[in-house]
Amino acid sequence: MNADDRIIVAADAVIHPDDLEESFIRASGPGGQNVNKVATAVQLRFDAANAAGLSERVRERAIKFAGQRATKDGVIVIEAARFRTQEQNRADARARLAALVARAAEPPPPPRKKTKPTKGSVERRLKAKAGRSTVKKLRGRVERD
C-alpha cells in the first residue's frame, strides 16, 4: 500500500492505509464446497482512536456511530461477507467504513431557533382548555332540588 491508497472522506477525515488491518476469514453462505476451502470474507479493523487523519470530533462520532462494531480501545471492526470473492468483500468493507466516517464528518445541524407561539394559537389553546374544563365539570353528580 502506498500514499495513494488513502481514502479521503472529508477535509477533516482521511483514512490512511496504516490505520487499516485486514484479515480474511471463511464466510458462511453461498459458494458450495468452495466456502469450506477459501477465506473470502474480510474483517477490516480501523484504529479510529489513534488515526492521525481524523479530527477529534470525527473520531468521537465515528466510534459512537460504530456502536457494537467498536471495541473498548476505539478499534472499529467491519466484517464483509456479502460477495464470493475477496476483492469484492474488501471493497465492500472499505466502502462501508468510508460511509461510516463520512456520516461522522457531517457538520452538526444548526441550532433550533426559539419562537414564540402566535397570539391566535395561545387563544385557541386556552379556549380548548376551558371547553375541556366545562365538559369535565358536567360529568359530576347531578344534584336534585
- Output the pLDDT for position 32: 64
Domains and their CATH numbers in the chain: 3-105 (3.30.160.20)
Q: Give the mean pLDDT of the chain.
A: 82
Range list of β-strands (E), 2-142: 7-10, 13-15, 20-25, 41-47, 75-80
Amino acid identity of residue 13, one-letter, is: A
Structure confidence by residue, pLDDT tens digits, 112-122: 999 999 999 99
- Output the pLDDT for position 21: 79
Structure confidence by residue, pLDDT tens digits, 54-71: 778 888 888 888 888 888
What is the average pLDDT across 13-36? Answer: 72
Residue 35 pairs with which residues in a beta bridge?
none
Prediction pTM value: 0.65
Instruction: State yes or no: pLDDT of 40 exceeds 80.
Output: no
